[in-house]
Structure 1
């Protein structure tokens, strides 16, 4: 693993404040150039970040959107940006145990966490606060791109508040109204290899 995990934000980096407008067609940036530069091929608008990675890694719930996109799209290791590990059971994923539920069914789980190489997986179990509380090591034969996670904005005229942590599938009518922060893959043909916790 590099000095800091590739997809983890660093001190000095932050989300870029942008002026958004919401119409019946969806959410967009008032700057059309910025808007065009931050849309993915499926049409989702992505949150942009700014700043220099000048400090320590910030182990928070959010990953760095641009680096997460690169790693998840190309199936690169979340720690070092090299190729993720593969064997006869599939690609290596290390995920936090959801709500400490040991009986979680991992088949069909949707995640924004990219896969890992063996070396980074071992280190991540020690360094990542979420993994220290409980982790599973999976081998995955299929991991289809299914959508994005981000802030879903209500349609004009609605009294609803934005949903800051929405999963929006690519075939959803909500896709034009989301500002994405993470690419989502659905894991299939999953083998649970190991599970544990670094701290009690």
Structure 2
């Protein structure tokens, strides 16, 4: 169970994503178990990774965000840290993103694509001090539009392309013909009408 100091979307070392058997047909990828397949599909019929284990051990800040909790926060515009509704004002919704390693001057924040959910007012101030990725440098944004554009996950080759292997970490757009062939791990949103509130090199 996550403590108040442990961000909601961060996985724990006791958690994992199970490697469930899949089958690939001309219609797309599916889990071999039809019951599991039905349970792991979202409202758009996208197939999602199976999450297992327990929230024990320690927070794995350097790992990919927990697929199930990341999707819950992104789809509901909930705080990435505490699961409360994200902060909003006339400039839009609050987002806090890590700075790229090559510095803030190399990033154009308008139309940036991210897997990180928004944040509430309280967590905007406190989470950057606890999260190593944000402590190394972050930007606080206000965003008026945050459209879901796709998912990132494991893209499986079509049956007619023998010899190719599944590719992990692929961004597949919602209007892509590849969408039925991906096992998703992260919702991706594109941030638009962005206002930069503040930049912090280190905390």
TM-score interval (norm. to shorter): over 0.9
The 3-state SS of whatever aligns with 2:180 is helix
Structure 1 unaligned spans of 5+: none
- Give the superposed CA RMSD: 1.5
Partners of 1:5 and 1:78 within 8 A in 2:
yes
Matched, 1:130 2:122: no
Q: What does the per-residue CA deviation read over 1:36-65, in whole Å, with 9 as the maximum and x for residues that have no partner?
A: 110112121100111111221111241111
Q: Take 2:189 and 2:78, find their aligned partners in 1: how far apart are those partners?
A: 13
After TM superposition, the structure 1 = structure 2 runs for residues 1-200 of structure 1, keeping only pairs within 5 Å, are 2-103=4-105, 104-156=107-159, 157-198=161-202
Aligned length: 199
Give the CA deviation at 1:196. 1.3
Superposed CA offset, 1:109-163 (max 9, x none)? 1111000012212222122222122211100011111111111112222433322
Tell me, in whole angstroms, the C-alpha distance in 1 between the residues paired with 2:97 and 2:136: 11
185-194 or 121-130, which moves further after superposition? 121-130
Taking a change above 3 Å as real, the CA distance of residues 35 and 77 of structure 1, as seen in their structure-2 partners, is same
Gaps of 5+ in 2: none
* Larger mean Cα displacement after TM superposition, 164-173 or 125-134: 125-134
